[in-house]
Amino acid sequence: GAVVSQHPSRVICKSGTSVKIECRSLDFQATTMFWYRQFPKQSLMLMATSNEGSKATYEQGVEKDKFLINHASLTLSTLTVTSAHPEDSSFYICSANGASGAGSTDTQYFGPGTRLTVL
């Protein structure tokens, strides 16, 4: 089946540093990837939609300059949290729409998530 991986699974960084999180579709090409943020005991909040080769579309209230998204290929999207602060600590999850050759194009496949802790 369609598999989405994320790296790293956990990261701890100092306040003011930048952190990059990778999201890969392992066995299919994903034209669209999504980045979510999940707070403890809360639902997933969509941060941005990323299309290969074009600029990401950010949801209202999400700072574009703080959360940089790059979707350079059909199998890789990256989220960079710039100048991270403790309030950015969260669980970040990516997902990808199935494309031809992998599962259903109607289904979003989710990565396992990345736990970011900013000290």
Partner 1 sequence: GDSVTQMEGPVTLSEEAFLTINCTYTATGYPSLFWYVQYPGEGLQLLLKATKADDKGSNKGFEATYRKETTSFHLEKGSVQVSDSAVYFCALRQGAQKLVFGQGTRLTINP
Q: Could you say whether residue 4 binds partner 1 (CB under 8 A)?
A: yes
Residue 113 within binding range of partner 1, rule CB under 8 A: yes
- Count of residues in the chain: 119
Residues 40, 24: Cα–Cα separation, whole Å: 24
Contact map string, positions 37 to 56, toward partner 1, x by CB under 8 A: ----xxxx-x--x-------
Token pair 């259903």: residue: 104
Interactions with partner 1, residue window 62-101 (CB under 8 A) = 93, 95
Rg (CA), the chain: 14
> By the 8 A CB rule, do 34 and 46 touch?
yes
Q: Provide, rounded to whole angstroms, the least separation between the CB of residue 6 and partner 1.
A: 8
Binding site for partner 1 (CB under 8 A): 4, 6, 34, 41-44, 46, 49, 93, 95, 106-113
